[in-house]
Amino acid sequence: MVTITRYSLDVIVTEARDLVSRGVLSRHQPIYTLCQYIPQREWETVERELERHDYLLRDRIIDLLGCETWDND
């Protein structure tokens, strides 16, 4: 049985934020680097969702994350 996750923009942002917070990805890398961490069969869905919200794959991850809050300031 194949499980397919619905990748809404919120899910994509959460995944990106998690990868950045763990130091796996940098905020300055292009959004397309997320494809390494999302199953290939689902990447097309992710691309469509990003395009639907006017994100380009060459945009930086920080553009996707938007404002961030810091707990230890």
pTM over 0.85: no
pLDDT at residue 69 in the model: 56
Nearest Cα neighbor of 66 from 37, 27, 38 is 27
Contact present, 7 and 49 (Cβ < 8 Å): yes
How far CA 18 is from CA of 1, 2, 15, 35, 52, in Å, comes to: 27, 24, 5, 14, 22
In tens digits, the chain (73 residues) has pLDDT values of 545 567 899 999 999 999 999 999 999 999 999 999 988 889 999 999 999 999 999 999 999 998 555 566 5
pLDDT at residue 53 in the model: 94
Structural domain boundaries in the chain: 9-65
